[in-house]
């Protein structure tokens, strides 16, 4: 069985300007790993229609599913829904079910459901709504693309709404060994180990701490017994350097 391949498109001027440090990509990566969905690529583009449409079309062609984050609020810089409609060549308009959700929400709050807020009910033709238990304004799925908010608490709630509807694969299992030796010392035996376990992914992530060199070696794969065997071999290669 092959795990589904996913991509993510972050619409994020605030990340590209360095104002905000990404949180949604990190969250989605962890959730997908747990659900056996392989996140293969992430692109971060600015609030520019051409950039969004072209990245979206590239990713939805290359991946089994695409998640987007950002740009579906009520302000002038929220252009994601229009770009998604353009990418799919469909129309977009205020949809009754989305409007009803928002109308009820603002009625409860005693707040005017003004024109800006009605923008959040604009949904491309043929899309399915994604539930937003935090702030009601829905995300939506169209084709293999799932469009979600950029505010982390809302993004996370929408991912929780979406995940049960996705078919995952075997969760990727991983084990890590922290080895207090420079990568240059461990590279040769590690390469040989990787060659003996071609179905596993064996990565080495070096670090420096208090002037000492070390590496976290991560063994990943869907076959838990193979991960165990590789880790046992790995540990026996560097018996005195584990920390």
| Separation CA 138–CA 158 (nearest Å) | 8
Strand ranges for the chain from DSSP E = 5-11, 38-45, 65-69, 92-94, 122-124, 128-130, 139-142, 145-148, 173-179, 201-209, 212-221
Rounded distance between C-alpha atoms, residue 212 and residue 45, angstroms = 37
Sheet holding 212-221, edge to edge: 173-179, 212-221, 201-209
Gyration radius from the chain CA atoms: 22
**Rounded CA gap, 22 and 14, in Å?**
9
Q: What's 106's DSSP letter?
A: H
Cα angle value 32/232/188 (rounded, 5°): 90
Q: Give 41 or 90: the residue with its C-beta nearer to a copy of itself.
A: 41
Return the number of the residue (126 or 189) whose C-beta is nearest a copy of itself.
189
Q: How many CB atoms neighbour CB 224 within 10 A?
A: 12
Q: Which is nearer to a copy of itself, 108 or 115 (CB)?
A: 115
Q: Say if residue 199 is exposed, middle or buried (CB neighbours under 10 Å; 0-12, 13-18, 19+).
A: exposed
Nearer to a copy of itself (CB atom), residue 18 or residue 89:
18
| CA distance linking residue 186 with residue 183, whole number of Å | 5
């Amino acid at each position: 069985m092959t795990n589904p391949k996913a991509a993510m498109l972050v619409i994020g001027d605030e990340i590209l300007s360095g104002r905000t440090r990404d949180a949604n990509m990190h969250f989605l990566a962890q959730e997908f790993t747990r659900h056996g969905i392989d996140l293969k690529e992430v692109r971060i583009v600015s609030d520019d229609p051409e950039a969004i449409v072209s990245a979206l079309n590239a990713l939805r062609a290359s991946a089994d599913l695409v998640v987007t984050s950002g740009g579906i609020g009520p302000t002038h810089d929220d252009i994601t829904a229009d770009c998604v409609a353009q990418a799919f060549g469909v129309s977009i308009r205020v949809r009754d079910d989305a409007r009803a959700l928002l109308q009820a929400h603002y009625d409860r709050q005693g707040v005017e459901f003004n024109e800006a807020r009605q923008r959040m009910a604009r949904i491309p033709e043929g899309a399915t709504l994604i539930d937003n238990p935090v702030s009601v304004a829905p995300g939506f799925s169209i084709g293999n693309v799932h469009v979600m908010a950029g505010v982390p608490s809302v993004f996370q709630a929408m991912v929780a709404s979406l995940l049960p509807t996705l078919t995952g694969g075997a969760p990727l299992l991983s084990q890590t060994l922290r080895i207090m030796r420079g990568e240059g010392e461990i590279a040769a035996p590690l390469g040989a180990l990787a060659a003996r376990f071609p179905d596993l992914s064996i990565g080495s992530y070096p670090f420096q701490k208090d002037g000492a060199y070390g590496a976290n070696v991560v063994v990943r794969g869907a076959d838990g017994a193979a991960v165990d065997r590789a880790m046992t071999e790995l540990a026996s290669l560097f018996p005195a350097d584990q920390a």
